[in-house]
Structures are given as structure tokens and as C-alpha cells.
Amino acid sequence: MKKILAGLALATIAITGVASAQDSPFALQIGARKGVMDYRQLQLITLGQMAKGEVEYNAEAAQKAADNVVASAMLDQSMLWPQGSDSDSNIESRAMASIWAEGSDIGAKGKAFAEAAMAMQAAAGVDLASLQAAMGPLGETCVACHKDYRAPAN
């Protein structure tokens, strides 16, 4: 029991200290959301550079980037989008309140992204033409959501 309590104390040290230094009560949720977007962007840059011929096509690297996009789409993010964590109430966020409003189609847009990511996963390692063909539809799902639900940068 003593060992468990000591362990819990250590765990408490490990998991505190970040939120208190930040502004919003949703700092961790918003930070994690933005981090997931940054992660996806890194993968899309890798894929996009090959698609545009800026970097030589490499089937293995393309497949890995596509796998990573899918992994990021599969990650459970249900806890990252609590009501009240929108850009109206949190200066760190660009997630518009309309995400949570009646009539929001954020779920459908998320599903479209996941499906386009899986199409990219099936295509990226085949050849350059397949990667290029999958890039547009994937980019469109990013744009569709950002256009409707991401507030302009400050």
C-alpha cells in the first residue's frame, strides 16, 4: 500500500504542472488538438512534396506518411472537443463555436477525412500517380473542414 501511494504521488507530479501555466481550462484539450493537426500536416507535407515532384517519390516513405495520417485519424479524440472549448471563449483555439452548434456536420466531415486518409493509405505505396490521385481528395477534406470550422488566424 505504501508503495502504491508513493507511486501515485510520483504519477501526480508527472501529470501536473502544465495546465496551471496556461490560460484556458481547456488548455490540454486545445494543445492536443493542435498537436494532432501539426502531426497530420507533417505527414501531408511529406506526401505533398512527392506529389508535386519537389521530392523524389519513395514508396516506403509515402506509405509510412499515409499510415501515420490514418493512425492520427483513428486516435480517440472524443475527449478533446468539450463544449466551451471554442475560439469565442479560448484565445488559443481557432475551432469555431459552430462545431458544437445544431446542424453542425463536423462528424460527417471527420468521417470524410478518415475515408480519404484510408484511400491514401491504399494508394501511397503503389506508385506516384496513385499518390497524386489520392492527394486531391484528401486535401479537399482538410479544406472542407477548415473552411467551415476554423476561424482565421489572429
Q: Is 91 in the site for its own copies (CB under 8 A)?
A: no
Cα first-last separation, the chain: 51
Considering only the stretches 10-18, 85-93, 96-104, report the one whose residues sit in contact with its own copies under the rule CB under 8 A: 10-18
Nearer Cβ to its own copies (101/129): 129
Considering only the stretches 84-92, 95-103, 104-112, 133-141, report the one whose residues sit in contact with its own copies under the rule CB under 8 A: 133-141
CA distance 90 to 98: 14
Candidates 86, 123, 138, 149; binder of its own copies (CB under 8 A) is: 138
Q: Which three cell numbers stand for residue 134?
A: 489520392
CA distance 80 to 28: 8
What residues are paired with 95 via a beta bridge? 150
Taking alpha carbons only, the member of 100, 94, 107 closest to residue 150 is: 94
Half-sphere exposure (CA, 13 Å, Cβ side) for 29? Answer: 18
Q: Is 45 in the site for its own copies (CB under 8 A)?
A: yes
Q: Which residues bind its own copies (CB under 8 A)?
A: 3-4, 6-8, 10-15, 17-19, 21, 27-29, 31-39, 41-42, 44-46, 48, 51-52, 64, 67-68, 71-72, 74-76, 79-80, 132-133, 135-140, 142-143, 146, 153
